Amino acid sequence: MATFTLTTLSPSFSSHFFAPVRFNRSPNLFYKNLHFPKLQSLKCSSSSSEPETSTIDWTYKLISGIAGIGFIETSYLAYLKFTGSDVFCPVGGDTCSSILNSDYAVVFGVPLPLIGMAAYSFVAALSLQLTTKKNLPFGVNRSNAQLVLLGSTTSMATASAYFLYILTTAFPESSCSYCLLSVLLSFSLFFLTLKDIGLQEKYKQLGLQLVIASLVILTLNTSYSSAKSTSR
């Protein structure tokens, strides 16, 4: 225990008027009142990858939602095609119906709405499967499923671009709101799928995308050329 004594210069004077003042301070009390923060141990975790995984999951959910809208649209057009009902066109009127009932609305005898239903439903089902962490059917891993999804949306975007070209050349004064909606949906699906793939993987799959686009254009050209020759 530390002891401090204060006295004056004159011992007699201080002894009569002042008693010595002593300060007792315990060193243990000083250190006891100090509170040092506890150092937390550092833990390595994969929390930084969780936002990225969540973003990818939301991308696939958005893809499935857009594909669902496309499936509803093509289902409606397929119903009208098989029942022979009039198409309700908010923009374009009769010109919209003439486009949907033209020779360009059929590919090798199959109505385009049926092809669109199959394509949109496949993309929606595959993207929903990718949101889950379960194994894909037939032993397909996640990377291969992403490539299949990219190939599907590439073919859809290529077909939509081809139809948009036909719409502006063969029907320059007509408008088709359903055609424009399908183009918007297809390109949205393509760019969302392309966004999910890394930059290096994009360059690797560029050749595959070009092959798919060429096959789609070749198929549509062959179908419409044969349809024109038959009609003559």
Within-domain flag for 123: yes
Within-domain flag for 106: yes
Within-domain flag for 1: no
pLDDT on residue 30: 46
Torsion of CA 51, 54, 58, 64, to 10 degrees: 150
Q: How many domains are contained in the chain? A: 1
CB atoms within 10 A of CB 171: 18
Within-domain flag for 136: yes
8 Å CB contact between 120 and 74: yes
Within-domain flag for 210: yes
Distance CA 54, CA 48 (A): 11
Q: What is the 3-state secondary structure of the chain? A: CEEEEECCCCHHHHHHHCCCEEEEECHHHHHHCCCCCCCCCCCCCCCCHHHHHHHHHHHHHHHHHHHHHHHHHHHHHHHHHHHCCCCCCCCCCHHHHHHHCCHHHEECCEEHHHHHHHHHHHHHHHHHHHHCCCCCHHHCCHHHHHHHHHHHHHHHHHHHHHHHHHHHHCCCCCCCHHHHHHHHHHHHHHHHHHHCCCHHHHHHCHHHHHHHHHHHHHHHHHHHHHHHHHHC
pLDDT on residue 65: 95
Which structural domain, as residue segments, surrounds residue 91? 54-220
Quote the Cα angle for 223-79-153, to 5°: 55
What CATH number corresponds to the domain at position 195? 1.20.1440.130
Within-domain flag for 32: no
8 Å CB contact between 130 and 142: yes
Would the pTM count as exceeding 0.75?
no
Burial per residue of 199-210, b for 16 or more beta-carbon CB atoms within 10 angstroms, e otherwise: eeeeeebeeebe
pLDDT (tens digit, 0 to 9) for every residue of the chain, 232 residues total? 444 444 444 444 444 444 444 545 555 544 455 454 554 544 544 444 445 556 667 889 999 999 999 999 999 999 988 888 878 777 656 677 788 888 888 999 899 999 999 999 999 999 988 887 666 666 677 778 888 899 999 999 999 999 999 988 888 888 888 889 999 999 999 999 888 776 566 667 777 888 999 999 999 999 888 766 665 5
Distance CA 73, CA 89 (A): 12
Within-domain flag for 11: no
Within-domain flag for 13: no
Distances (CA, A) of 227 to 19, 52, 102: 123, 48, 11
Phi, psi angle pair for 110, to nearest 5°: -100, 125
Distance CA 105, CA 83 (A): 16
